[in-house]
Chains A and B, each alone.
Chain A
């Protein structure tokens, strides 16, 4: 029994990491209808930058964390300016944005490789006080709790922002129709830049937390999570912020339970993606997605 509980906790936790990564992804993909394949590279750079600030800059993690998050956000602005804005002016299709975001992903990843080297790097020992709690035979660490909490808080905050604030409303207006938003006097380019900033900052934050927990950062660490992030936002419903978290947790649980039942991690992805396929057949809009009428 306690094994099952522990496995559920494991799955819930890894799922929250996926969810955290997917929130930023879904913000740009679902809301702006742009698939930003450089998101995983920003995730990697966020983690590596925080590590660099701590290890080389000698900063405390509490200072390095917000700085690295801001830096990730700035990368998002750069991404928008270089990869997406020029295409937008030419009214190119979304597909060309997808291709140029792949180019940016390669550039970011190569930059990480050049600056930080190909080796797996780690945060210094004893950086965070990671308490370990044992309840009966179930183990939870404080870092796990912090990661799950930050995923939930960010989800709630972002949902509230989109629903109630002026910027949030502007983002939704741009999502609905860029042209109409422009007619209404909304600074469309500004809104898109803000969206990229927030999305990338969240991606960077996920990278840092991921790096802190697994304590192994490498320039290619984004690749393992890139496809999963995509699957998670499709599972949760494109553009739905709570859906991203829910999808992440569902994905994490299916992975962990597969490994627990089969005793090998080889089938992990196969089962997770089969679950995705089944859900898409039964519910094409994802768990929390609404019909996308605006494309009619």
Chain B
């Protein structure tokens, strides 16, 4: 069903549009307001629900802001939210519904890279553009030319983190600890390894752990004995919290900074590890403290509406809606998926809460990452 009609005459106009569509002479020229239907697949339940929750809030905020100003060129976003349950199978179901039943012009999501690996293929086959807002694993955008993401990959964030840490702290030798049985933590390790090599930082010791481990003292004892300048860790936030607090408990001094990947990028780290988290250095895609007017407005509006400040995942979802909105304006249509894809691909130098935003040739995010450090229980900017 095409929805190119004034709201007041929706029913009649919709019937008219149907007749016009079936007779093949439909034109959008007569409609002042145009609705773009976008499907949002986020994890509202399951393991990633903590991320999905703030993503939905960020996206909803952006949709409402855009619609309240829809007078400008008349594009209004109709948002369909659905829960991918942190599971690939459910992600596929949601994508199928969006594409076949709701006839969305594009999809934003899903929350996890794992889900994206399965569900994005369906959108690619059907020619529906997907804009991922939190997938950082390798190969997501290689699925096809309809798959985009505004989330920086580990490969984009980590070299910057290492460079800044080296400049500011003068680290020369480090120890590395990572989970070697998980695609994400292993990928983070590969990125660290390469970045450390490029920066001529010596790796004194490499230790690994397995998913679900709670006791890291044997590995940390070995690391303590080689006296590194810093400890580089690739782990998800649960293990990261355990590693950080046990490292300090074992007497690795606070002067030995702990440097983490994207898995550390959550306020849970400070909640779980408390004082031990002080001084932890993490690369990030979004600078919460950025003083750009766009970002300040976003943080204020989000905090006022939801009662808590946004995190990186909310910011990336919020930015995605604006990226989509801007591309819709250039596509010249609110229901032509091919035109929207081409418009998305040309996105360049767009002002977003993430900074100046463009897509790379490979449809990955291109903007400047930041480096944060934990200070008094909060992430503050360490360097750029």
Contact = CB atoms under 8 A, between A and B. Distances in A.
A257 to B, nearest CB: 8
A118 interface: yes
B208 A264 contact: yes
A180 interface: no
Given A125-B274, A215-B272, A264-B180, A10 B207 contact: no
Contact of A263 (B205, B224, B249, B274): B205
B217 interface: yes
Nearest to B45: A118
B181 interface: yes
Nearest to B177: A263
A265 B213 contact: yes
Contacts of A256: 217-218
A139 B214 contact: no
Interface string B199-232: 0000001111110111101110110110000000
Interface in B160-189: 180-181
Interface in B368-383: none
A263 B206 CA distance: 7
B238 interface: yes
B219 A265 contact: yes
B238 A120 contact: yes
B251 A216 contact: no
A296 to B, nearest CB: 42
A3 B221 contact: yes
5 contacts: A3-B222, A10-B217, A125-B275, A134-B251, A224-B212
A3 B225 CA distance: 6
B254 interface: no
A260 interface: yes
A214 B274 contact: no
B222 A14 contact: no
Contacts of B210: 265-266, 268
A259 interface: yes
A122 B272 contact: yes
A7 interface: yes
A267 to B, nearest CB: 10
Given A214-B214, A216-B214, A266 B181 contact: yes
Contacts of A264: 180, 207-209
Given A118-B47, A265-B209, A10 B218 contact: yes
A224 B209 CA distance: 14
A6 interface: yes
A122 B103 CA distance: 44
A11 B222 CA distance: 13
B218 A215 contact: no
Interface residues of B, number: 32
A132 B249 contact: yes
Interface size class of A (residues with CB under 8 A): 20 to 34
B251 A259 contact: no
Contacts of A187: none
B225 A259 contact: no
Contacts of B225: 2-3
Interface in A80-137: 118-120, 122, 125-126, 130, 132, 134, 137
Nearest to B46: A118
B45 to A, nearest CB: 10
Nearest to A7: B221
A192 B213 CA distance: 35
Given A118-B47, A132-B249, A266-B180, A216 B238 contact: yes
B242 interface: yes
A266 B208 contact: yes
A224 B215 CA distance: 12
A126 B206 CA distance: 32
Given A11-B218, A134-B251, A216-B272, 19 more contacts: A2-B225, A3-B222, A6-B221, A6-B224, A7-B221, A120-B238, A137-B251, A139-B249, A139-B251, A216-B214, A216-B242, A260-B218, A260-B221, A263-B207, A263-B219, A263-B222, A264-B180, A265-B208, A265-B210
B49 to A, nearest CB: 8
A141 interface: yes
A130 B205 CA distance: 29
Contacts of B222: 3, 260, 263
Contacts of A11: 218
B245 A215 contact: yes
Contacts of B212: 224
Lowest 9 CB-CB distances: which A-B pairs, in order? A259-B218, A214-B214, A264-B208, A125-B274, A3-B225, A139-B251, A10-B217, A256-B218, A6-B221
B63 to A, nearest CB: 28
Contacts of A260: 218, 221-222
A263 B245 contact: no
A266 B275 CA distance: 30
B250 interface: yes
Contacts of A216: 214, 238, 241-242, 272
A126 B242 CA distance: 15
Contacts of A259: 218-219
B213 A132 contact: no
A125 B377 CA distance: 13
Contacts of B242: 214-216
Interface string B232-245: 00000010011001
Interface string A227-240: 00000000000000
